[in-house]
Amino acid sequence: MSLEQAFRISSILWAGVSFVALALGTGLPAWLVFFTTVALLVSFARAVGAMAGWFSVPQVVRSAVTWNVLVLAAFFGFVVESLTSGELLYAGLRFLMVLMIMKLFRLRDRGDYLHLHAITVVMMLAAALRADLWYVPLFIAYLALGVWTLFLHGMTRQRGNQPFTTFATTPRQQTTCPSGFEHGEEKVAACFFQMASGLALAVLCLTVLLFYALPRLETRSYHNDDGAVIRTAGFSDSVNLGALGPIKLDPRIVMRVELPDRAIPERKGLYLRGMTFDHYDGRSWVNRLGRRWPIRQTTQGIFALQGQEGGEQMAPELLSRQRILLEPLDTPVLFGAPFMEAVSGKLPAVQVDGGGSFYLPVPVANPLEYTAVSRPTTVLPADLHPSSFPSQYPEEFLRYFTQVPPTSDRIAALARTVAQHARTPYEQAMAVQDYLARHYRYSLALPVSDHTNPLEEFLFKRKTGYCEHYATAMAIMMRTLGVPSRLVTGFLATEWNEYGNYYVVRQQDAHAWVEIYLPHSGWIVMDPTPAGDENVASADGLWLAWTRLIDHLQLRWNRVVVQYSAADQLAIVQGVQTGGAAIGHKVRESFQILLETITGLMEKSVSLLVTATLGQAVATGFTVLVLLGLLRSMWLFRKRSQGKPLGMKEENERAGGPVTQLYEQMLSYLSAQGLQKPTPLGPLQFVNIVRHQWAEVSSMVEAITTLYCKERFGKVPLTLEEYDLARQRLGELRNRTRFASKSDLQRGIGAGNGI
C-alpha cells in the first residue's frame, strides 16, 4: 500500500471515528446517520478499491458549481432550522454532517482531505458535549488514527510539493527496513507503524500530563444544561398518591452512594431520605412544613444543623457518612440516610425545612458530589416498655402529624383491630407494618382508578399496590391510633457495586416509607412495603456484573476526568508539596545518618592508628592501597571499554560476520575430512591446496572463500543473496565425503598435516 492510499484510508477512518462519537453523543436523526454511514462506506470502498482495483465508485457529481450550490442549500437549511427551532447547536451539527457528507463524495486533492480533518475535529468537539464512558475508547482511537493520519500527511506532503528523487540504497538499509521504500518507491512499512505508534503513545502520555496540568479557570460563561436533567417525581410540596409508580419503571441512574465508614452494604438496603409530608387530604400528600431556611456554613465548609457542626458532638459510632454523587435531577432535594444533620461539598448554599429535609436553592444541571452526615435512630428500651407510654403528645405536634382525612372511619376501625393487642406505640406500629406486609400484595401493574378515596380502595378493595399505598396506609392507620407519623419519599438503594464499593441508585429505586414518632426515641423509620415480585432489572447475573463494572468505570471516568476541577489541581499541588517535603526530610535524615556513620568510622580509624602497633598500621595501609588500586583498575577498565575506537568495534563486527562464520564452519568440516588449513596460509592459498587435493569440492570452497574475503577484507557488507549462496555452497560441501573408510581418513589427516 502506498503512502497516499494509506493517507486516504486513514483520513476516512478518522472521520468515521469522530462520526461515531458524535452520533453516540448527540443523537443525530436517523436519516442523517444513514446518509453519513453510506458516504463513509462509499469513500472507504473507493479508497480501498483504488488500491486493490476491485471496487470503483464513480464520482456522482463532478461539477464544482453543483457542489457549491449544494453547500449553499445546506447552509440555507441550517439558517431556516436554527430560526424555526431555536436550537442553534443542533442545527449547526446537522449542517456540519451535511458538509461532511458532501466532502466525502468530493475527496480529490489534499485540500479536500484537510477540510475533512478540520470537520472531524469539530465533530469530536461537539461529541464532547454529551460524552460518556464510551468516549474513552473512541478518544484513544481518534488520537491514534489522528496521529497516523497526520504522520502520513507529513510524509506525503513532501511528495505533494516536490517529486521524490531516485537514490541508491545500501545493503544495511535493506536489512533494516526490508519492506519500505524499495527501489525508490514509498510504501507503508512496518517501521512506519512502529514510528506512528510510538508517536501516538508519546502524544497520549503528554495529553494526560497536559490535561491535569492545564489550569482550570473558574470563569465559565457558558453552561450546557439542556436535556441532561432527569425528571423525577415525589419530591415536590404536593404529591398525588400513585405518582411514584411510573418512575419505578425507569432504570436510569440518579445517584451513587459510597459509605466511607464501611465496605459492605446494608443488609436491608440503604434508605436515602428526600422529603417528608405531613398532611393527607385523601388523594394527595402535602408538606405544610415546607418553609425553608438557610443553614450557615462553618469555616470547614460544612453545612450543619445548629449545634451539630458535622457531628463532632456525637459519638463517632453513632454517625453515618455517605459520599453521594448525584446526577442532575429536576428537584433541589439533597438526599441522605435518615436523619441528615450535615452536608459538605461544592455546594453554593443549603436550606432545610421543618421536616428535616435538605435542599439546594435551585436544582443543579450538572452532577453534584457531596458528603452527608446522618444520625441513624434506634428504638430506645424506654419505648418498648408499656409503663413509659405517655398519655399525650404536644398539641402543636399532634396538629401536624396526626391529621387524618375526613372519610377514614373504616380505616380507623381496621387500625384498632390490627393493633388491639399492642401496648405501646412501637408495638402498634410493628403490628400495622406486619399486617400490611402480610395481607397485601405488591404490584406496579395497577389499573387506572377514578376512586374518590384511593387509600380505601387499596385497603379494602384492590389490596394491591406499591410503596406509596403501603406507606400512606400505615401513616394514616397510625394517626388514627394517635401515634404521630409522616410519609417520606426518597430512594431505597439495594444495588451494591462490588467493584467500586458503592450503591447504585436508579429511578426505579424511588421509594416511600413512614416515619413514626416515639416519645423517647423520636422519629424512627418504618417500612411496611414487602418485597415486590416484579423484577424490573430482570437479567442474568453475568450481565448485571458487567453493567456494574461498566458503571464503576463510568464513575471513575466522571471523577477523574469529567469533574476534574481547580480544587483537584490544588489538592494535587498540596499533595506534591507534602510529598516533596517528606522526601526532602527523609533525604536529610539519611544524609545525616550517613555523615554520622562516616564520622564515627573516621574517629575509630584515627584512634586505632594512634594506638596501633607498627604491624597493624602497615596492614591497614596495605589494605587501603589495595582498595585504591582495585578502584583505579575498575575505572581504567570502564574508561577503556567506553573509549574503544569505532573502527576497532567495526573490525570486530566484520570479523564475526555471517559469511565468516560459514567460512569457519567450512574449515572445520574440511579439517574433519583431513584438509586442515595451516595458520600462516592465506585463504586463497588454501583454495589452491584444496584444488589439488580434493578437486571435487574446490568450486564450493572457492565460492565461500571469495565471499569470505569480500566480507572480511573488502569492507563491503554482503547482501542476503550472497549469504544464501555461501550457505548453499556449504550445504553442498557437507554432502560430499572425501574418504570412504576410517583408515583413509587417518591417512588423509596425515597428508593434510604435511602441507
Residues that bind other proteins (CB under 8 A): 114, 118, 121, 124-125, 128-129, 131, 135, 139, 143, 146-147, 150-151, 153-155, 157-159, 162-170, 172-173, 176-177, 180-181, 186, 189, 191-192, 195, 199, 202-204, 206-211, 214, 216-224, 561-564
Q: How many CB atoms neighbour CB 583 within 10 A? A: 10
Helices (H), 53-87: 64-85
Strand order in the sheet with 510-518: 270-277, 485-493, 510-518, 522-526
Contacts of 301 (CB under 8 A, 6+ apart): 344
Contacts of 304 (CB under 8 A, 6+ apart): 295, 298, 310, 311, 341, 342, 373
Cα 286–291–292 angle (5° rounding)?
A: 125
DSSP labels, 182-221: GGG--B--HHHHHHHHHHHHHHHHHHHHHHHHSPPPS---
Q: Report residue 353 as a C-alpha cell.
A: 425545612
Q: Nearest approach, Cβ of 4 to other proteins (angstroms)?
A: 12
Q: Nearest approach, Cβ of 534 to other proteins (angstroms)?
A: 38
Q: Nearest approach, Cβ of 502 to other proteins (angstroms)?
A: 21
Q: Is 174 helix (H, G, I), strand (E, B) or coil?
A: helix
Complex with other proteins: residue 211 or 637, whichever CB lies closer: 211
Amino acid (1-letter code) at residue 370: Y
The burial of 340, by beta-carbon neighbours within 10 Å (0-12 exposed, 13-18 middle, 19 or more buried), is given as buried
Q: Nearest approach, Cβ of 626 to other proteins (angstroms)?
A: 38
Complex with other proteins: residue 84 or 219, whichever CB lies closer: 219
Complex with other proteins: residue 120 or 402, whichever CB lies closer: 120
Say which residue the cell 402480610 belongs to: 438
Q: Nearest approach, Cβ of 198 to other proteins (angstroms)?
A: 10
Complex with other proteins: residue 138 or 244, whichever CB lies closer: 138
Amino acid (1-letter code) at residue 494: T
Q: What is the DSSP letter of 229?
A: P
DSSP labels, 418-450: HTTT--SHHHHHHHHHHHHHHHSEE-S------
Residue 517, beta-bridge partner list:
523
Q: Nearest approach, Cβ of 227 to other proteins (angstroms)?
A: 15
Complex with other proteins: residue 189 or 525, whichever CB lies closer: 189
Q: Which of 510, 473, 405 has its CA nearest to residue 464?
A: 473
Complex with other proteins: residue 30 or 646, whichever CB lies closer: 646
Complex with other proteins: residue 166 or 535, whichever CB lies closer: 166
Q: Nearest approach, Cβ of 394 to other proteins (angstroms)?
A: 50
Q: Nearest approach, Cβ of 530 to other proteins (angstroms)?
A: 44
Q: Nearest approach, Cβ of 225 to other proteins (angstroms)?
A: 11
Cα 152–157–160 angle (5° rounding)?
A: 130
Complex with other proteins: residue 30 or 217, whichever CB lies closer: 217
Residues 411/477, Cβ–Cβ less than 8 Å:
yes
Complex with other proteins: residue 109 or 396, whichever CB lies closer: 109
Contacts of 429 (CB under 8 A, 6+ apart): 474, 478, 483, 485, 516, 526
Complex with other proteins: residue 89 or 626, whichever CB lies closer: 89
Complex with other proteins: residue 204 or 286, whichever CB lies closer: 204
Q: Nearest approach, Cβ of 571 to other proteins (angstroms)?
A: 16
Q: Nearest approach, Cβ of 517 to other proteins (angstroms)?
A: 45
Residues 476/403, Cβ–Cβ less than 8 Å:
no
Left if phi > 0, otherwise alpha if psi is -120 to 50, otherwise beta: which for 6? Answer: alpha
Q: Nearest approach, Cβ of 132 to other proteins (angstroms)?
A: 10
Residues 360/328, Cβ–Cβ less than 8 Å:
no
Complex with other proteins: residue 168 or 614, whichever CB lies closer: 168
The Cα 102–Cα 535 span in angstroms is 48
Complex with other proteins: residue 565 or 623, whichever CB lies closer: 565
Complex with other proteins: residue 260 or 714, whichever CB lies closer: 714
CA dihedral 398, 474, 381, 400 (to 10 degrees): -10
The Cα 245–Cα 233 span in angstroms is 9
The Cα 9–Cα 46 span in angstroms is 9
Q: Is 336 helix (H, G, I), strand (E, B) or coil?
A: strand
Q: Nearest approach, Cβ of 577 to other proteins (angstroms)?
A: 23
Q: Report residue 5 as a C-alpha cell.
A: 492510499
Q: Nearest approach, Cβ of 585 to other proteins (angstroms)?
A: 34
Q: Report residue 247 as a C-alpha cell.
A: 418512575
Complex with other proteins: residue 207 or 238, whichever CB lies closer: 207
Q: How many CB atoms neighbour CB 150 within 10 A? A: 19
Q: Nearest approach, Cβ of 160 to other proteins (angstroms)?
A: 10
b/e map of 97-127 (b: 16 or more CB within 10 Å)? Answer: bbbbbbbbbbbeeeeebeebbebbebbbebb
Complex with other proteins: residue 539 or 560, whichever CB lies closer: 560
Strand order in the sheet with 495-497: 302-304, 340-345, 368-374, 320-326, 253-258, 502-506, 495-497
Complex with other proteins: residue 153 or 469, whichever CB lies closer: 153
Q: Is the dihedral of CA 305, 308, 309, 311 positive or negative?
A: negative
Q: How many CB atoms neighbour CB 84 within 10 A? A: 9
Measure Cα distances from 397 to 47, 278, 485, 517 in Å: 79, 11, 10, 10
Complex with other proteins: residue 210 or 542, whichever CB lies closer: 210
